[in-house]
Amino acid sequence: MNDQYDKNCICNISDVGVVDVTGEDAESFLQAQLTSDIKALDAQHWQRSAYCNPKGRVIAILEIVRKNDGFSVITHADLLAPLVKRLSIYVLRAKVQFNALEGVQSIGVSGRNVGTLLQEQWPELASDNLAALWHDEVLIRCIGSASPRLMFTGPADKISALQQQLGVDHVDVSGDEWERFNIIDGIPSVCSTTSEQFIPQALNLDLIDGVSFNKGCYPGQEIVARVHFLGKTKQRMRLAHVSADTSLAPGDPVYREGQEQRAGTIVDAVCNKAGCDALISINSNDNEKFYADSSPDALVEWLDLPYAVVT
């Protein structure tokens, strides 16, 4: 699947929601609510995190960057409003304000030209895949590890102007292509269908810098820490391909051969006539066969993620 990275693409990404969290207590508030160590986040990087319920189940996956007197928090668009509503309950006397942004657009750039863009226009981003900077109100971030990609998020007019300036010989593709890149990179997403279904470890968030085990408490922290320190991670997220002409969606079940009970869950999937690329959260044995639906043709083929998976 990595040959997909060879073509130069600009992807319009429509499922991105952004909320600015500002105020004197913004850092301490987020530190007490999220799984990552917000205090360790500097201005040159972005940080992956999760917001969990008291049972340690992930409500939303977040991508966070410092901005002016606070932070920009990026999440799945359909989770933005409920996320802000739920966080607001815990503000109490803290000096924190939430501003869900409107008119925000995101595009992703992938392919061979990304390296040239980094060298010529933003060499400071070339150091690692969590690098970030602000350019004329647009947040520019490196994404993924299998191959360099760039994501631009900001006001629609600024994004349009910047896209014209890029000068990249490319093809325009849908957001599904960008989602496929995330799947190949082992980057999970959570939407309204899968919100509150998984603990962070079942989405490999602890393996991709989305969880800190050295910070203070946050909702669900006791359960997440117990799983980590007792070494009882029953489920992990794995990369898979299903060759059958089928349709898979987040939350769909995966079955062990010969059994009707759900053995795993589709975290994310992108399908076309060649089959589906998917991330599956599952407790599996490589010698067992799994199927993505009731069809015997929907055999799950396990593939390697770009990072080591510790069980």
- Indicate if 95 and 224 belong to the same structural domain: no
- Indicate if 154 and 226 belong to the same structural domain: no
- Indicate if 53 and 162 belong to the same structural domain: yes
- Indicate if 206 and 292 belong to the same structural domain: yes
Residue 12, in any domain of the structure: yes
> What is the CATH number for 279?
2.40.30.160
Instruction: Give the pLDDT score at 59.
Output: 98
- Indicate if 133 and 230 belong to the same structural domain: no
- Indicate if 141 and 50 belong to the same structural domain: yes
Which residues, in sequence order, are bridge partners of residue 241?
277, 301
| Closest among 72, 76, 60, 152 to 110, alpha carbons compared | 152
Residue 117: which domain range?
Answer: 8-184
Mean pLDDT estimate for the chain: 91
- Indicate if 209 and 110 belong to the same structural domain: no
> CA-CA distance, 183 to 221, in Å (whole number)?
26
Structure-block tokens of residue 308? 């080591």
Residue 43, in any domain of the structure: yes
Which residues, in sequence order, are bridge partners of residue 150?
109, 142
Instruction: Examine the fold and report which residue of 142, 157, 184 is the final residue of a domain before the chain moves on.
Output: 184
pLDDT: is 124 or 174 the higher one? 124
pLDDT of residue 196 exceeding 90: yes
| Closest among 5, 12, 2, 6 to 173, alpha carbons compared | 12
Report the domain count for the chain.
2
> CA-CA distance, 50 to 207, in Å (whole number)?
13
- Indicate if 36 and 171 belong to the same structural domain: yes
Low-confidence winner among 36-45, 59-68, 254-263, 292-301 (lowest mean pLDDT):
292-301
- Indicate if 141 and 286 belong to the same structural domain: no
* Residues 64 and 38: beta-carbon distance below 8 Å: yes
> Once rounded to an integer, what is the mean pLDDT over residues 148-164?
91
Structure confidence at residue 4 as a pLDDT band (50, 70, 90): low
- Indicate if 214 and 264 belong to the same structural domain: yes
Q: Tell me if the pTM is above 0.75.
A: yes
- Indicate if 270 and 158 belong to the same structural domain: no
Structure confidence at residue 5 as a pLDDT band (50, 70, 90): low
- Indicate if 297 and 176 belong to the same structural domain: no
pLDDT: is 287 or 106 the higher one? 106
> What is the CATH number for 78?
3.30.1360.120
Instruction: Examine the fold and report which residue of 130, 158, 184 is the final residue of a domain before the chain moves on.
Output: 184
